[in-house]
Structure 1
Amino acid sequence: MLTVDRTRPATSAGRIARVETLTLGTAWRDFSFVRIHTDEGLTGIGEITHPYRGRETCSLTHAMAERHLLGADPFDVEEIWLRMYQGDFLRGGDVGGVVLSGVDQALYDIMGRTLGVPAYRLMGGAVRQRVRVYANGWYTGERDPSSFAERARETVARGYTALKFDPFGAGLGTLDRAELRRSVEIVAAVRDAVGPDVDLFVEGHARFAMATADRLVRELAPFDLGWFEEPLPWTHIERYAELRATATMPIAGGEHFHNRYEYARLFAADAVDIVQPDLSMAGGPTEVRKIGAIADAHAMVVAPHNSNSPLCTTISVHSVAGMPNLLILETFDGALEPFVFEALRGVVPIEDGEVALPSTPGYGVELVDEVFEEHPPSHRFWNMFSPGWERRNRR
């Protein structure tokens, strides 16, 4: 089971013959991708973006290909998943999780292209015709209430009906009185700017001590939030349920976990109301569907994390089309440069805050190599716990 069986007859897709990686530099971050080729001339793509470890994910992808992919039948998704996860023995953490996720994504693309059907047809079909999305990345700029309010109005004017933002600046652990007041004033200004019918989600970036998180859930209660995301570090996961007991808004989280085994602690602690697996970190479509099913068994809904490229948005739409307990999907697509969409030809369009189910075989997306060559990776870094990070100052 944990070695490639080249004696078993392959499907019409053939066998995996070549694996390559590509990285695109943008103002937001470097986006990395895997492209898998079969000996029958078929290709499939997936996203292997890591916020700061793009070199590492690309390097591991090539190493994983040598160990586990070359010669394999791309239709054997469960076996390949197990081989990459269990067969590498030490299991890889975040970098390994990203690589495994991207490869898994690419296999569904190959299968869909082989069979001539959209990839979601291989992921349980659809229980909805459209997927609602929310905007993130829209608040780049000065950290003051009026600036946030203006940008929120602009984003809603583009058709989005839900927004997420981090009002807390460089706060870590605790907030002094002035910073707490400023953060709450930003949330108040955004709510006033967009009115009562737009969903607002506040991002905590897993950074507050319990006393500060508890104060914040009380201070933010008047603004009718759709959720408060990651108010506590995941090193303190057992305290999430304690915070939930006092919060008037739902608590969300889970983007830091890379498979159902890591999610086990979250479910055991009854830590959140809303689970947020990332299709490019939590094991790809094969694993995220399982995480969604476990969440459903715990009466939780799913709102996938997606701070990645429009390709991950497209793959996420395919993956959640058949997920009964889907709430909403994150996207940064509206904050990206036009050349990103030229490099990822065929990604799903967002219209009035929603995405219609795609109809092309696989994901229907092609990586345009020439655009990648024009926009090489920058390998830059910005620290969200340093002053001014919301302006995306990088070094």
Structure 2
Amino acid sequence: AAYQANPKPVVVNEDSTNLDNMNASVVAGVSWGYLDTGVNNYVDGYQSPPVNWTVNTDAKRAFFDNVLRLAGPNSVATRLALTGPSSGDYHDSVTLAADLHDQSGNPLAGLPVVFNLGAQSCTGITDAAGAAACAITPSVVAGTVALTATFAGTALLQPSSAATSFAVTHEETVLAYTGDTSILLGGTAHLVGALREDGRAAIPGEAVSFTLGSGASAQTCTAATDANGNAACPIAGVNQPLGPGSITATFAGDAFYRPASASAATIVFAIPLSGTFVISDQMAKPGQTVTFWSSQWSAANPLSGGAAPGSFKGFAATVGGFGCGTGWASRPGDSAAPPSTVPSYMAVLVATTVSKSGSGVTGNTMSIVIVKTDTGYASDPGHPGTGTVVGVVCP
């Protein structure tokens, strides 16, 4: 009698994949059966073995999307989990990541996830596996900041979020010393250091301290790095022991950057009070034993520009400025008035040509080297001045 009073089916079973039929059944207040026969290929359908139970075809997706639509707004719970790193260096890009799934663990694709690292944010879109990622370069001081990921939800999907702590660590730094290493006693040492992030990007506005020598005699100066990451300061009136030494550059670090330091070997040298000695370009090689003063100077110093006059004994009485590319002049023998003593580490001119005109001798300065002098020198050319090349001043 009830059916005759209201003749309609209670169940529409195994109908088809037609969503119009599905919607009509819902309007009529009866249940409806989805029938997707497939073609026995493990891709289509649910009815024909072997069955692929995933939502992998347009028909399947359309059915489940319609189910969600009919279920009403925000009807499906979601779960968001952070999966990326939990720490990263200041100023280094870090890729944040999260996975978005529904309440059954199915990945949700094509949806935006917003990541917040402190006050910084970026957005990633979930892929087929429900994974979203985007990159942020931390710009806050080293320490712990909040990391959150948020999915805002859709008409069908409920919002979800995840949160954790993220450790911003001090950025790695590299400090390289690029200043003077051959340093004139009593002169000015030009000290330079280059400060870089990871050895590449310049770090401006940071203090670098330099120490020339060690112990009680050490001399220091401090300078800030410029836009290129270079810090430079002079030490005037160098007062260090002659010979090998060291220089150290130090960056103490700050709230953003790790400390760094660099060191370099130095040689402190001297020059005679007036004039200087000369060797040939053929002999001016590191580690070479040389003769800078001798009655046989020309024989001990073959020149690439031709033999030197025999009257030149090795001392240039007048020098046109201390530097490479200058000329010098002298007189034959010991009439050039060489000094009575020589420094233990001494700058010596390197010539390619030496010539005599009348009573005058002239030559050029191709380079300047440092010679560690031997004992036995005297201002008489019969007492040769010898030593070993241990450094270069210029070029």
TM-score (normalised: structure 1): 0.21
Normalized per residue, the structure richer in helix is 1
TM-score (normalised: structure 2): 0.21
For CA contacts below 8 A with separation 6 or more, give which structure has more relative contact order.
1
* Higher radius of gyration, 1 or 2: 2
Normalized per residue, the structure richer in strand is 2
